[in-house]
Structure 1
Amino acid sequence: MTLRNKILVLVAALAVLAGVATASLLHAAGRADKKNQIQAGGPHVSTGTVSLASGSERRIVFRNMAWGPHRDELATVAATAPAGPRTASGVKCLRFYAAAGTGICLQAERGAVTDSYRAVVLDAGLKERAHYGLPGIPTRARVSPSGRWVAWTVFVGGDSYAGTNFSTRTAVLDTRTGRLTSSLEDFTATLDGKEHHAADTNFWGVTFAADDRHFYATMATGGHTYLVRGDLAARMVTSLHTNVECPSLSPDGTRIVYKKRVPGLPADAPWRLYALDLATMRETALAEPRSVDDQAVWQDGDTVAYALAGDYGTDLYTVPADGTGKPRRLLTAGLAPAYLG
C-alpha cells in the first residue's frame, strides 16, 4: 500500500470515529434533555434539614425518587400537603423506615466491580448510630413503634418475590442492647401446631407490635406462605393464617394489611391487597385493583399507603383499609414512607 493510500484509509477511519462520537453525544444529550424535562415537571426538591424527631406537624419521610441531584435521598413533606415542595437530607437509602426518633436505612455501597450493602441505624438527626453488613439485596425494613427494635430483609438468592426461585434473610436488632439476630431462622417455628424444621424456610416482612415483644412476619415453606406471630423474648414464631405476604400491623394492633396471591393473575403480578381481622381471621379485599408488591404502611387507623410503578420508578398511593373507597395517589416519585410527628 502506498503512502497516499495509507493516508486515505486513516482519514476515512477518523471520519467514521468522529461520526460515532457525534451520534453518541447526541444520544446522551437527548437522554439528558428528557431527564431534565421529567425533573422540570416533577416535584420541587431542595436541600435542608430532615429530622426523625416528633414535632408539632405530622410529616412523611421517604425515599425521593425524582430525577436530579437528590434522587434516592431521604426527603420530607408535610403530611397535610404531600404533593408540595420536599426537603432532601443528603442521606441516600434503598429502603427506609422510622419511628420514635429511630431510623433504619438500607444502603448500597457502589464498588468498582460489584456493589455491597449495609443496614445503618439512624438517630433523630439522621446521624449513624451503628451499621451492619448485609448478605444480599435490601428489600424490606421496619422499626417498632417505640424505636427499640429494628428489622430488615434482604434477598440472598433471586431479586423478586414474584417467582419461587428466591431466598431471603431477615434480621432483628435490639437497639438498646445491640443484640443482633442475623436470621429469624434461628427462632423456633411452629406450623399448624407442630414444631417445624425445613431447609426451604424463609422469612420476610416483619411488622412490630407496640408491646416491644411481639411481631408478625411472613414465613414461606413448602411452596406456601404463612402469617406468623413472633415472640422476641421466647425467640419463637407461630403460624396463624395462610397466603399472607408482607404484613403491616394497624396502629391499634387489631388488623393486618398484606399482599395476597390471587389465583388467575399473571405470574409477574400475582398480588392484591387484603386486610385481616386478627380476632376473627376474616379477610377483606381492599379497593386497589392493581398488583402491589410492597409492604404497606398505615397512614392512620383507617388508611394504608403503598408504592406502585410510576414515571420516576415508583409513586405512592393510599386506599381505605376496610375495602371501601378507591385508590388515590399520595405523591409522585416516592418510596418507603414513614409517618412521623
Structure 2
Amino acid sequence: MRRVFVALAGSLVLIGAALFYIVKERQDVTMAAPAAERLALTSGQLLFRDTDSGQVAAVSLTDPGGARRVSGVRCDRFAVARQTVAQQTAVCLIAQPGVLPPVTDILILDGNLAVRHRETLPGVPSRARVSPDGKLVAWTLFVTGDSYAATGFSTRAGLFEVDTGRLVKTIEELAVFVDDRRYFASDVNYWGITFADGNRFYASLGSKGKTYLIEADYPHYRGKAIRDNVECPSLSPDGTRIAFKKKVADGVWRLAVLDLATLRETELTESRSVDDQALWQDDSTILYGLDSAVWAVPADGTGSPRLLVRNAASPAVT
C-alpha cells in the first residue's frame, strides 16, 4: 500500500510540474509579445499566427515583407472567410494551457476579431476554416496523438452555424458513399474541411489505411468519395480545383492540385514535406506554413516556392 501511495504521489508531482511548465511557457510568450494593435478584417491582408507571440498578425498582401501589425488575439490556429459580403467571420482555436486531457477553446470572431461565441471541446487544435459567406465554421482537433504522422491518430472534425448557433461536434455521422456504396467502419476519421459555400464542403476521410477526398452535401448530410490519397483539401476561389497534401511516405507529404472536372493531378514545385492545409491566395497562388514561415508557390506546377513571411503560421487571406 505504501508503494502505491508513493507512486501516486510521484505521478502527481510530475503532472503538476508539467502543468506548471505549460502555464509558465504561455506566460513567457505573452510577456514577450509586442504591443497589440486593433486589427479588422479588411481586404488585401495576409493574416497569420505570429509564432513569436502566438497572436494573430497581419501584413499587406502587396508588401508581405513589410511591417506586421500584431493583434491582442492569441490563437494556435486561425482562419477567416475569404469573401464576406454580408457577414465577417473568423475562427480562433486555442488549446487551454495546463489542462489534461487537453481541450480546445473554439472562438467565433467578428470583423474586428471580437469574440461572438465560444465553444470548448476535447482535443488539440489542428485545422480551421470558414465558409465564403461567413455562416459556417469548421475545425479539426486531434483527440488521440498530436500528428498526422503518428500511428493510430484520431481526429474529430466539427461545424458551427454562425446564424443559428447550431453546433455539430463531429461529422462522423455523415452518410458517406465509397464506390457508390454506403461506407461503414469503426475507425472513420474526418479532417481538413474546406467549404464551397454554405451547402457544400470537402474533407478528408481516413479509414483502414486509406484516405479519401469526400464531397459533402451539408443540408442532406451525405457525402461521396471522389478520389483517394487526398489530405487537408483546400478549394480554389473559383471552385474548380482542390489543393491538397498527398502522402508519399510515412510522415512525408507533397503539395498537389486536383482538377475537379477531370480529376487530373498537378504536383507543385515545393519539394519539401508540407504538413499543412494549404490556402489559395487567389486562383493561381497557393500559400502554406512550413518551418515557422508562410510560403507561396504557383498552383500550375511551374515556378519555385517563395518566402512571404518569417515567424508565421496558419495563413489567412482577406
Q: Which amino acid aligns with 2:96?
A: E
- Give the whole-Å Cα distance in 2 for the aligned partners of 1:88 and 1:115: 27
Matches for 1:252-331 after TM superposition, within 5 Å: 252-262=238-248, 265=249, 267-268=250-251, 270-309=252-291, 314-331=292-309
Determine which of 142, 149, 152 is the counterpart of 1:165: 152
- Give the whole-Å Cα distance in 2 for the aligned partners of 1:192 and 1:45: 53
Matches for 1:39-58 after TM superposition, within 5 Å: 46-52=35-41, 54-55=42-43, 58=44
1:240 and 2:229 correspond? no
Counterpart position of 2:67 = 85
- 1:187–1:89: structure 2 CA closer, same or farther, 3 Å change rule? same
Q: Which moved more, 1:282-291 or 1:177-186?
A: 177-186
- Give the whole-Å Cα distance in 2 for the aligned partners of 1:308 and 1:316: 6
Shift of 1:46: 4.6
Number of positions where the alignment pairs a residue of Structure 1 with one of Structure 2: 284
- Give the whole-Å Cα distance in 2 for the aligned partners of 1:282 and 1:92: 39
The one-character-per-residue Cα deviations of 1:229-280 (angstroms, maximum 9, x if unpaired) are 0111001111000000000000000000100011xx4x23x11001000000
- Give the whole-Å Cα distance in 2 for the aligned partners of 1:290 and 1:108: 28
- Give the whole-Å Cα distance in 1 for the aligned partners of 2:312 and 2:158: 25
Moved over 2 A (4+): 44-47, 111-116
Cα RMSD after superposing both structures? 1.8
What's the TM-score, normalizing by structure 2? 0.86
Q: Which amino acid aligns with 2:316?
A: A
Determine which of 47, 61, 75 is the counterpart of 1:61: 47
SS in 2 for 1:160: coil
- Give the whole-Å Cα distance in 1 for the aligned partners of 2:102 and 2:146: 14
Determine which of 175, 178, 188 is the counterpart of 2:165: 178
Matches for 1:98-113 after TM superposition, within 5 Å: 98-99=80-81, 100=84, 101-111=88-98
Q: Choose 1 or 2 for highest CA Rg.
A: 1
Counterpart position of 1:73 = 55
What's the TM-score, normalizing by structure 1? 0.80
Aligned 8 A contact 2:102 2:124 in 1: no
SS in 2 for 1:133: strand
Matches for 1:88-237 after TM superposition, within 5 Å: 88-99=70-81, 100=84, 101-111=88-98, 115-210=102-197, 212-237=198-223
Aligned 8 A contact 1:62 1:74 in 2: yes
Aligned 8 A contact 2:101 2:122 in 1: no
- Give the whole-Å Cα distance in 2 for the aligned partners of 1:109 and 1:205: 21
In structure 1, runs of 5+ residues without a counterpart are 1-34
Q: Which amino acid aligns with 2:184?
A: H
In structure 2, runs of 5+ residues without a counterpart are 1-27
- Give the whole-Å Cα distance in 2 for the aligned partners of 1:93 and 1:206: 19
Q: Which amino acid aligns with 1:334?
A: A
